[in-house]
Amino acid sequence: MKVVIAAWHLKDFNVGLGRYSRALIEALGRVDVENQYEILMPDESHRFPERPNMRYRLIRFPFFKRRFWEQVAPCLAGRYDLLHFPYDSCVAWKRGKFMATVHDVKPLIFGAGRRRRWNVNELIERALMRDRWGRVDHVLTDSRCSNRDIMERLGVPADRITVVYPGVELERFHPSPTPQAVGRVDRPYVLCVAGADPTKNVETLAEAFSRLPGMLRQRYDLVLAGDFRRRIDLHELIRQTGIARQTVFTGVVGDGRLIELYQRASLFVFPSRYEGFGLPVLEAMACGCPVISSSASSLPEVAGEAAILVEPSDVDGFTRHMERVLTDRALWTDLRERGMARAAQFSWDRTARETVAVYCRVVSQAGWAA
């Protein structure tokens, strides 16, 4: 079986789609030595290990962006049994079966009421693919929550969707025996990894942190990792609640520093209103950091019984549970141990094996979508 993976987002090394693509391809190389793979890449920002059954092909177009690249690059791969986009997109022309990974449908859920602005690329794509979901032979998704959303919002039937949980790079994300201070952070801290997207709900965490007893607020900092430059409202809230001197904005960090932040954090809090999977929760657990998470969307699937779950709008609930974990050493230790055990269940090798099984099943089905 020849599988072509069009990995446009490899160049976005610090974005979830890039990390998913990179980790999946590396795991497929470890677990599958029978099938042939052709990995299409827009640049050489990531070097994969050489594998006898994997061909890495650099395809560049100097004046065009993703939507042109993903239509033309697969045509240069010749015939294949299956083409996989490890993100949500589609192709106008196929030479075999086609599969896409739809991580979530957040824009459809939280974009209601917003006026859609079409650009030229999107208009061309709509003209080429009038029945987009009729062209996709199968959809991979990250959680049962996303599975339900895809069926309800996109109308894809259940028998054309398979849930395959992503993994954690356990060889990299693990506790450190001797954690050191990280950059500007040299005091105990509560960590959140998020970004400017309002659905990350970081304002609830900031408000909850500001309500901690004075003794705890004096002892701990709040560290926010991600790009919050556009969140003027969040910066103003932090100033108004009196925690500006205790709040550290790290900006976007690479994996090495991110792992150090997880390892040294006293507590990880993830108040998001919606996640297709919620990888930061597992990463924190894998690094031995106790977790308090929102109870929304897929997060209970990911956390299981290894984290404290709080309704995303419950500011007092987040405050109360942060105080409990930061003052109860037995609870802190229990969450840490349960978290590491939970994260160990999500390996990328398992993800790759389950993905190969879906490849084989889809290819064995007669015909393909028009």
- Ranges of each domain in the chain: 2-167+348-364, 189-343
Candidates 200, 196, 248; CA nearest to 222 is 248
Alpha-carbon distance of 304 to 314, in angstroms, equals 20
Structure tokens belonging to residue 8: 């446009």
Candidates 243, 209, 249, 242; CA nearest to 228 is 249
8 A C-beta contact, residue 147 and residue 161: yes
8 A C-beta contact, residue 179 and residue 158: no
Candidates 333, 337, 332; CA nearest to 321 is 332
- The DSSP code for 98 is E
> What percent of the chain has pLDDT above 90?
67
What is the sign of the dihedral through the CA atoms of 181, 186, 188 and 191?
negative
Q: Is the pLDDT of residue 131 over 70?
A: no
Roughly how many angstroms between the first and final C-alpha of the chain, as a whole number? Answer: 21
SS3 70: helix
Mean pLDDT of the chain: 89
Classify 2-167+348-364 by CATH class: alpha beta
- Digit-coded pLDDT (tens) for 157-206: 999 999 999 999 999 999 987 655 555 567 899 999 998 889 999 999 99
Q: DSSP for 207-256?
A: HHHHTS-HHHHHH-EEEEEB--TT-HHHHHHHHHTT-GGGEEEEES--HH
Candidates 77, 72, 78, 60; CA nearest to 11 is 60
- Digit-coded pLDDT (tens) for 235-267: 999 999 999 999 999 998 888 999 999 999 999
Q: How many helices (H) and strands (E) does the chain have?
A: 15, 13
| HSE toward the beta carbon, residue 258, CA cutoff 13 A | 21
Supply angle C-alpha 15, 119, 128, rounded to 5. Answer: 95
CATH superfamily of 189-343: Glycogen Phosphorylase B; (3.40.50.2000)
* CA separation, residue 354 to residues 98, 280, 312 (Å): 17, 22, 32
Query: What amino acid is encoded at 284 in this protein?
Result: A
CA-derived radius of gyration, the chain: 22
Alpha-carbon distance of 252 to 247, in angstroms, equals 15
Candidates 247, 149, 261, 263; CA nearest to 202 is 247
8 A C-beta contact, residue 246 and residue 216: no
Structure tokens belonging to residue 61: 């177009």
Q: What is the pLDDT of residue 56?
A: 92
Query: What amino acid is encoded at 368 in this protein?
Result: W
Helix axes 329-343, 279-286, angle to 10 degrees: 110
Q: How confident is the model at residue 126 (pLDDT cuts 50, 70, 90)?
A: low
8 A C-beta contact, residue 294 and residue 310: yes
Q: Residue 248: beta bridge partners?
A: 223
Q: What is the value of pTM for the model shown?
A: 0.88
| CA dihedral of residues 330, 334, 336, 337 (deg, nearest 10) | 130
Q: Is the pLDDT of residue 370 over 50?
A: no
CB atoms within 10 A of CB 133: 17
Q: Do 2-167+348-364 and 189-343 share a fold?
A: yes
| Cβ-based burial of 283 (10 A; exposed 0-12, middle 13-18, buried ≥19) | buried
* CA separation, residue 241 to residues 54, 246, 277, 312, 317 (Å): 54, 11, 31, 19, 18
Q: 15 or 218: whose pLDDT is higher?
A: 218
Q: How confident is the model at residue 24 (pLDDT cuts 50, 70, 90)?
A: very high
- Digit-coded pLDDT (tens) for 134-162: 789 999 999 999 999 999 999 999 999 99
SS3 347: strand
